Structure 1
Amino acid sequence: MELNVLDQLRKSLIRLVRKPLAFWANSRIMPEKLQNLELDTDKPVCYVMRDDSISNQLLLEDFCLSNNLPSPLARVSDQAGTDGVPPMEACFCLGQRGKGTQPGVPDDLIKLQGWLRDHPEQDIQLVPVSVLWGRNPGHEKSIIKLILSDRVEMGWGRRLLVMLLHMRQCFMFIGKPVSLRSQLTSEDDRKIAHKLSRVFRVHFHRQRVSVLGPAVLHRPALVASVVRSDAVEQAIQYEITNKKISREKATANARKYVEEVAASYENWVVKLFDHFLRWLWNRLYSGVKVGNVDHLREKSQGHELVYVPTHRSHMDYLLLSYVLFYQGLATPYIAAGINLNIWPVGGLLRRGGAFFIRRSFRGNQLYTTVFKEYVHTMLKGGYAMEYFIEGGRSRTGRLLPPKTGMLAMTVQSYLRNSRKPIMMVPVYFGYERVVEGRTYIKELSGAAKQPESVKQLLKASKALKTSWGEVQVNFGDPIPLTDYLEQQKPGWRNEDYGNDPRPEWLSKATDGLAGEIMERINAAAGINGVALSSLALLATDRNAMSEHDLLAQLGLYQRFLKQVGYSEMQVNCDDSETELLGALIAQKGVGRFRHPQGDLIYLDSQAAVLMTYYRNNILHMFAVPALVAACFSHGKPMSRQQLLATSKSLYPFLKAELFISWSDAQLKQKLLQIADFLVTEKLLIEQADGLLIAPEQETVNYYRLMVLAQALAPTLERFYLVLLLLNRSAEGSGCKQLEDICQKSAQRLSVLIDLRSPEFFDKALFRQMFRTLREQGYLQETGGQIVASHGLDELHQLLAQMVSPAAARSIRQVAAVGSEPAKQLAA
């Protein structure tokens, strides 16, 4: 009886400090959505913690009481369905209080197993809970920093110090429940408990590493390690022999390169960035939305993560690290262009985890080797990494063709050492307004890119006076590198690759991986009001619509995304059509013409050019529906089989240009779903004979169908122009000459038809189209000259039916002029 009174008194005193402690810690709970825990509320719960910390248990209790979950400090027998359970708290720990995680098995776990054997109808859910204070991984050679970081072995005095130092930087991770019943076998209960304890210890270790990352390498030791590596030693010897310099000079050069490249991570800088970025995002953006992070967290357990985001803005560097920090994931070491290594930004970025890369490695073997060895050292050490797979920022809003240099280094490093499994994580950024938007338009119009400088930095501070809307950070479906390589080269682990692995299959595998990453970036695209409204307005003749029609079109797009959808990883927007339109109207250059018969929404000439950027962010999601709509633009009926055949002929070009992820089997399924959706929306009519046809041209539904189709009109017009030029002048011409002629002709056409879409004559798009024409067998290049197949005529005739008569006339006029230089070259 006396023990019960003392026990109650202890709990009362403990709970007295629960609320102040919870306020002090300001814990972030992962996962954020309670339903993601997958708890069965009809079964009893026991929590499993790493060590017996009263403070951590109190934080857990505060969370449980706030969410109607069983208290960890209450007895298990207080929960329903636990008659006869031995007296014990609903939380047991794998270590002793004040002594860290000492090896052993909680006796309570063994008792619960015995109770379950006596009650075969019952089950207990074991829920692992990790509580981490601060984000300091510690330095391998720093005793003080190891003491002040939240390490596994920690007494009460040191824990109190850590709590004081890391106020309001506490993370609580609640794992998915494990059925204790499912773990029972014919083995002895103590042996089963040992295995379970080991599984939970591994889980807690992986959780800690995924949040904090490995201990930071001491910089002098890192530099020395890279310089002394076999690969760099060979490069030094090459310098000595070929450049006739001394060993001291060559070694000093290697050391200088490592110092230029290497990050110098300091936790105090990360904390400084934390405070600064919270202030900055509140000034710049009305919100930062994060998508698919729970999916990433679940799939990435036990993996080293390499983030490969799209590159929209200089803000991307900071934004991803900020999001990862607040989602309880280790912040990555970031490959940054050497142009950002300017005072004072460069030093801060370096201490925040940036390592710097030159624009070109050409002609400098020592630098190339040093950089590769640094990347290998970091990956081998298990450090998260980030680099932009496009190389530079996209000025058009479309994904740029991938640059595979860093990706190849990652794969080569993994071939050398694959003990720590790597997972590639695609990341999509979506801005309602990109800070550099006006600059991008100037550069696309021919202005020279301004180099980064202190002066440019001061000019950028003007952005703080403007609201830039919302920004989305969405994580794509990760790619386990081990699984990918096994698909490309079964048995790849059995080969000896040496220090500079370059197997013959590497280039093809790297290119394939790059394409897969790009498609998964686009698969995680997010929707916002600016992008969706731009998609509709830019599809009209004068970039203007009645408010009523625009709202109806936005509703159509929203229903398509929810009923048919682009991918399982897409992030939809729950805003109403009015809220979506409101995001657009807040942009500069968007006007409202008030009229008694209904207001009109329009874009001025500058805004129309800028809005192509945001439209292009999501164009891939609507490209195939727009293609289907375009098939009916001339009012002729089509069967579903004809629709499939027409779409399949053009799909390879859209897939390559827009990084669409659908396979041929998925395409067929999606095309049929799209056709059914358009019939349901009454944008297509199914006749008695089963043929599909567009509504009458004077109807509202025909107008909406054509607005959908016009989203793809510039792309189809560019395709038609290329095919027309090929038909007129392909024979005897070379690919590069024809690409140049097509690009110049497209530029001329954009002026004639007043097309304000800067990417329309982007050289990269023509290179990609010619590559696809070769891959699909429409073109062959023999002896530097183009030979066209008969299928090219069929493709040309197909496109001629999908381009408007007015656009077709202008294209034929431009092609007539453009084909003359090609004929002269051929002659």
Structure 2
Amino acid sequence: MLRFLGLDRFFRLIIRGLMYLWVRVQVSPHDLELLGIDPNRPICYVLQNRLLSSVLVLDTEMRNLGMPAALSSMRRFGLREKHSLICLTQEHRNPLAKPRHAHSPRLVSLMDAVFEDTTLDVQLVPVTILWGRSPDTESSWLKVLFADSWATPSALKQLITIMLHGRQTIMRINPPISLRQLCDDTQSSERSLRKVSRVLRVHFRRQRTAAIGPDMSHRRTMRSEIIGSDVVQAAIAVEMNSRQVSRDVAEARARIYVNEIASDYSYPVIRFFELFLNWLWTRLYNGVTVNNFEVIEQHVADHEIVYVPCHRSHIDYLLLSYAIFIRGYMVPHIAAGANLNMPVVGSLLRRAGAFFLRRTFKDNPLYGAVFNEYLHQILSHGYPMEYFVEGGRSRTGRLLPAKLGMINMTLRSYLRDNHRPLVFIPAYIGYEKLMEGGTYIGELQGKPKEKENIFSLLMSIRKLKKVFGRVHLSFGAPIYLNEHLDAHMPNWREQGPAAADSAEFAPTSMALGLAMSTGINNSAVINPINLISLVLLSTPKHAIDEAQLAEQVALYKALALAVPYSERLTMTELDGPAMVAYGEELKILQRRKHPLGDLLYLHEEDAVLMTYFRNNTLHVFALPSLIAVLLLQRGDISQEELLGRIKSVYPFLKSELFLRWHDDELEAVVAQYVNSMIELGLVLRTASGCLAPPKVSSENYARLHILSRGLRQTLVRYHMTVTILNQRGTGKLTQQQLEELCHLLAQRLSFVREFSAPEFFDKGLFKGFLDTLKTLGFIQICSQGTLTFDKRLDGLAQEALEVLPSGIRQAILQVTLITDDAVNTALAALEASKERKKQRASAAKSNA
């Protein structure tokens, strides 16, 4: 009737005006040129549901973007259609009823026109509009009724949804689909119609899965599925036999484990966190920058995504989910340590998507079976997931070696069910100041790790008035699991789940963990604090002239830009003086006035913490730093000899810093760095073609000297470890004893020399170096469990000796020349201390 009287446009105008008093729409992408829509060819938008609110939002936003409006005519292209809009689900006459599913008359008409005119093509542009995002867990009738979910809404529900969620409306425009291409594949108009409808339905289903998660049943149903699975039932049978309990008791224990582990996703809690974090970022930080997010947009619809970020702070949990959610995608389910399952806080994290796991469950096969099955349910139902490959937070700023537990479980789940391709997305998270900085320093200096609790969380609120700079999140290159398995387990498709028991499984898992760590480092963000820390920690007393500091950080930036570490690396846009000013703004740099030029320095405690930020990006400058070390020690050196010496050290640096280059790439990369350093004045090429450092009295020599000191502590650790091995002799120490001895001697050396950073004597770094020595065949473990070696180690020790200044060499020899009795006494004391700790832990477990 309204259409007959010509009032429909008038009423749409009124409804549009009233609706936009409240509704706020987030449109993506902002740059429509990326979609490849041709404005000179017919355009017809496609919505999943014919809801007046969605139609008006689509029409309004397209007009605002300068595109043809959804309610505009297609007659200028010779088509009879009054509107440029198709809806897969048609309206019902009863406004309180759900829409029915049928072929759109306009789609039928456009299909007929394309078949009649072989030169005609129509661009179908699918548009997804979401009014709030909540998975249909059916655990609360209020959430199901009033939040956008998989259920097709009625008009009444949509009205209330707009009132509740209108300010969180998302409109996602997708690349056009050629109607001509879809029709050319079939001879029948009817078959083409079914094909087009199917393609569009699949497209919308994937879009909704990416935004609100898959259509998954509620927690009680998932618990029943987990308990009823063959894997868990087998573990229940083992539990009954080993503990002599009834089936009811064993199943009850399994249900307790499910409730302990499982997340309980809640859209209201997610919205609470969004509002809280909007406030937190502005109160605590100067902002959050996100780089390379397009990698998520490219894979979220067609792949099961597992996010694998580095772990630097408790803020990591919140940051990644926040960045994903505000861009209109599903918050991942996050693997969190059971230590975070605290009263109140644990419940909030669980409803924000966290699921909890114990640090170890080797001695509890029932818990292990339940957790593995829960993980499989998450992956097989299409939920995005996130876990930290390092296992725990890095206390040194270095990327820790990947822990393979979660990786192994993910691989086993995928081998069991791989109907949907899986992709790992590495993510680098970088800070400019840390909330946990003081705690990290204490732990590195030997204090016991603090247990998370409500009190410590409340105490951290005091820090909200402090300024912590910016936070940087950068996504790395995707790692496709299918491709990785094809490369390392060629027969995995034929073997199926049995491939998890093959000899290839462990190397495949280790290679995957290494790829994740390398991918994280490849996507690093170099901020001003990283560069300032690299410079000041390489100067005596951590002090430097202001102008010299500005020049040196600018030099580091120029070097990184001249030879990009990777295409996903992000560099600060600030110049040298601006970086210095920024360091003062964050109260990291201290200033001492002087008539000849102000000096900038670090307080002693700040200097210790700055090693953390240096280590975040040390891998980017490892090779140029090593080149500088060799040039300063050798003087004139041919490029061939330089390359040979780099190759002897590179495997250890690659293992410790997760460097990206393979051995066969080194020659080209070293040549690029040498050429860039020549252009920057750091290296000279002599008349004979050799490489040489600048004159000792020149400014460039001082700059090269600062650059060389970035790797000094690393090289000292290598040399000291090899020296101790040679002094003690083959077959005398176990690896654990050697790690303990290196740790103690490094502590002593740090008091003698300038190596005041606690991470210098970190046991994990010595363990990693020894593992690499074993991998390369320099050392072996004999049947008695001790380390054995041959004369190859002498050659390695000599090479390490030649890259260190004479003063440091003498200090290492002085510290390592200790008697066997002193060594045995120290090691015996450590063993006794460990035994006491084991007894206390065993007693505590028995009491529990």
Same-fold call, TM > 0.5?
Answer: yes
Give the distance between the partners of 1:370 and 1:508, measured in 2 at CA: 26
State the match for 1:796 in structure 2.
797
Residue aligning to 2:219: 219
Q: Which residue of 2 aligns with 1:610?
A: 609
Deviation per residue, 1:222-280 (Å, 9 max, x gap): 22222222222222222222222222222222222222222222222222222222222
User: Cα–Cα, structure 1 residues 189 and 691, in superposed 2: closer, same or farther, change >3 Å?
Assistant: farther
Question: How big is the shift at 1:20?
Answer: 5.8
> What is residue 209 of structure 1 aligned with on the other side?
209
Deviation at 1:681, TM superposition (A): 1.4
Which residue identity is paired with 2:726? N
1:720 aligns with 2:714: no
2:357 — aligned with what? 357
Structure 1 contact 92–108 (Cα < 8 Å) conserved: no
The code of the aligned residue for 2:352 comes to G
User: Quick one: which amino acid aligns to residue 674 of structure 2?
Assistant: A
**Cα-to-partner distance string for 1:152-181 (whole Å, 9 max, x where unaligned):** 623333222222221211112222344556
For structure 1, which segment, 447-456 or 67-76, has the greater mean C-alpha deviation from structure 2 after superposition?
Answer: 67-76
The alpha carbon displacement at 1:22 in A equals 4.9
Which residue type is aligned with residue 86 of structure 2? Answer: F
Output aligned runs, 1:562-601, within 5 Å.
562-601=561-600
Render the CA deviation track for 1:517-567: whole Å, top value 9, x for unaligned.
111111111121111211121111221222222222222222233332111
| Range with bigger deviation, 167-176 or 106-115 | 106-115
- Say whether 1:93 aligns with 2:94: no
Partner of 2:306: 306
C-alpha deviations, 1:673-721, integer Å up to 9, x for none? 2112112212112334432222112112222222222111111121122
Give the equivalent residue in structure 1 for 2:174. Answer: 175
Equivalent residue, structure 2, for 1:460: 460
Do the aligned residues in 1 keep the contact of 2:131 with 2:161 (CA within 8 Å)? yes
Deviation at 1:116, TM superposition (A): 6.8
Q: Which residue in the other structure is 2:253 paired with?
A: 253
- Superposition pairs of residues 145-156 of structure 1, within 5 angstroms: 145-150=143-148, 151=150, 153-156=152-155
Q: Which moved more, 1:648-657 or 1:660-669?
A: 660-669
Q: Which aligned pairs between 1:318-357 and structure 2 lie closer than 5 A?
A: 318-357=318-357
Q: Which moved more, 1:591-600 or 1:173-182?
A: 173-182
Distance 2:776 2:794 in 1: 14
Percent same amino acid at aligned positions?
Answer: 38
Aligned to 1:26: 24
Contact 1:265–1:351 at 8 Å: present in 2 too?
Answer: yes
Letter in 2 for 1:255: R
Question: Residue 548 of structure 1 corresponds to which residue in structure 2?
Answer: 547
Whether the aligned pair in 2 keeps the contact of 1:254 and 1:367 (CA below 8 Å) is yes
Please name the residue that 2:67 is paired with: 69
Distance 1:373 1:186, change over 3 A: closer
Aligned AA for 1:104?
H
Q: Which residue of 2 aligns with 1:414?
A: 414
The 1:40/1:402 distance shift into structure 2, 3 A limit, reads same
Q: Residue 504 of structure 1: CA displacement?
A: 3.3
Counterpart of 1:808 in structure 2 is 809
Q: For the structure 1 residues 361 and 34, does the alpha-carbon distance in structure 2 shift closer, same or farther, using more than 3 Å as the test? A: same
Distance 2:574 2:108 in 1: 52
- Partner residue, 2:57: 59
The answer on whether the counterparts of 2:695 and 2:701 sit within 8 Å (CA) in structure 1 is yes
Gap change, CA 1:10 and 1:662, over 3 Å in 2: farther
**Inter-partner Cα distance in structure 2 for 1:676 and 1:771:** 34
The alpha carbon displacement at 1:47 in A equals: 3.2
Asked whether the 8 Å contact 1:19–1:62 carries over to 2, the reply is no
User: In 1, Cα distance between the equivalents of 2:99 and 2:582?
Assistant: 52
Matched ranges for 1:89-488 at <5 A: 89-97=83-91, 100=99, 102-104=101-103, 106-107=107-108, 109-110=110-111, 113=114, 117-118=118-119, 125-140=123-138, 145-150=143-148, 151=150, 153-179=152-178, 185=184, 187-188=186-187, 190=189, 191-192=191-192, 194-488=194-488
SS in 1 for 2:306: strand
- Residue 618 of structure 1, CA deviation: 0.9
Write the distance in 1 (CA, Å) between the matches of 2:39 and 2:538.
51
Task: Classify the secondary structure of the residue corresponding to 2:617.
Answer: helix
Shift in CA distance, 629/45, structure 1 to aligned 2, threshold 3 Å: farther
Query: Taking structure 1 as reference, are residues 59 and 4 closer, same or farther at Cα in structure 2, changes over 3 Å only?
Result: closer
Cα contact 2:489–2:505 (8 A) shared by 1:
no
Is the contact made by 1:430 and 1:473 (CA closer than 8 Å) also made in structure 2?
yes
Q: Indicate the SS of the match to 2:570.
A: coil
Q: What's the CA shift for 1:619?
A: 0.9
Cα distance in 2 between the residues matched to 1:825 and 1:107: 85
Superposition deviation, residue 394 in structure 1? 0.9
Q: Secondary structure at the match of 1:562?
A: helix
Deviations 1:703-762 (A, max 9, x none): 222222211111112112222223333422233332322222222111111212221111
Residues paired across the two proteins, number: 816
Q: CA deviation at 1:288?
A: 1.2
**Other structure's SS at 1:136 match:** coil
Asked whether the equivalents of residues 296 and 477 of structure 1 are also in contact (C-alpha less than 8 Å), the reply is no
Structure 1's 167 and 3: CA in aligned 2 closer, same or farther, altered over 3 A?
closer
Q: Structure 1 residue 803: deviation in Å?
A: 1.6
Partners of 1:15 and 1:620 lie apart in 2 by: 59
Instruction: Mark the runs of 5 or more structure 1 residues left unpaired by the alignment.
Output: none
CA offset digits 1:426-470 (Å, max 9, x no partner): 222111111101111011112222222222122111121212111
> Which residue does the alignment assign to 1:690?
689
Q: Which amino acid aligns with 2:807?
A: A
> 1:175, 1:324 → 2: CA distance?
18
Query: Is the contact between residue 332 and residue 386 of structure 1 (CA under 8 Å) also seen in structure 2?
Result: yes
Structure 1, 666-675 or 304-313: larger mean CA deviation: 666-675
Give the whole-Å Cα distance in 2 for the aligned partners of 1:666 and 1:18.
60
Supply the distance in 1 between the matched residues of 2:654 and 2:324 (Cα, whole angstroms): 31
Deviates more, 1:231-240 or 1:578-587: 578-587
Instruction: Answer yes or no: is the 8 Å Cα contact 2:522–2:565 preserved in 1.
Output: yes
**2:838 paired residue number:** none
Deviation at 1:573, TM superposition (A): 2.4
Could you tell me which residue of structure 1 aligns to residue 841 of structure 2?
none
In structure 2, relative to structure 1, the CA distance for the partners of 1:216 and 1:182 (3 Å cut) is: closer
- In structure 2, the partner of 1:557 is 556
Please report how far the alpha carbon of residue 12 of structure 1 lies from its aligned counterpart in structure 2 after TM superposition: 6.1
Contact 2:44/2:86, CA 8 A, preserved across alignment: yes
Q: Where does residue 777 of structure 2 map in the other structure?
A: 777
Instruction: Report the Cα offset of residue 509 of structure 1.
Output: 1.6
TM-fit CA distance, 1:610? 0.6
Unaligned runs of 5+ in 2: 93-97, 828-848
Q: 1:41: Cα distance to partner? A: 6.3
- 2:48, 2:820 → 1: CA distance? 73
Is contact 1:729–1:822 with CA below 8 Å preserved after alignment?
A: no
- Matched to 1:329, the amino acid is Y
Per the alignment, do residues 3 and 645 of structure 1 end up closer, same or farther by CA in structure 2, a change over 3 Å counting?
Answer: farther
Residue by residue over 1:296-344, the C-alpha shift from the partner in whole angstroms, topping out at 9 and shown as x without a partner, is 2203432122222211111111222211111222112222222222222
Alpha-carbon deviations, 1:94-114, whole Å to 9, x = none?
A: 333466583436135426635
Aligned counterparts of 1:177 and 1:75: Cα–Cα separation in 2: 18
Number of the residue aligned with 2:637: 638
Q: Residues 472-518 of structure 1, C-alpha deviation per residue, up to 9 Å, x if partnerless? A: 122222222222222221231222537x9533332222122111111
Q: Distance in 2 between matches of 1:782 and 1:413?
A: 36
Which deviates further from its counterpart, 734-743 or 36-45?
36-45
From the superposition, tell whether residues 586 and 234 of structure 1 become closer, same or farther in structure 2 (CA, over 3 Å): same
Secondary structure at the counterpart of residue 471 of structure 2: strand
CA distance in 2, matches of 1:818, 1:299: 60
The DSSP-based 3-state class of the residue aligned with 2:86 is strand
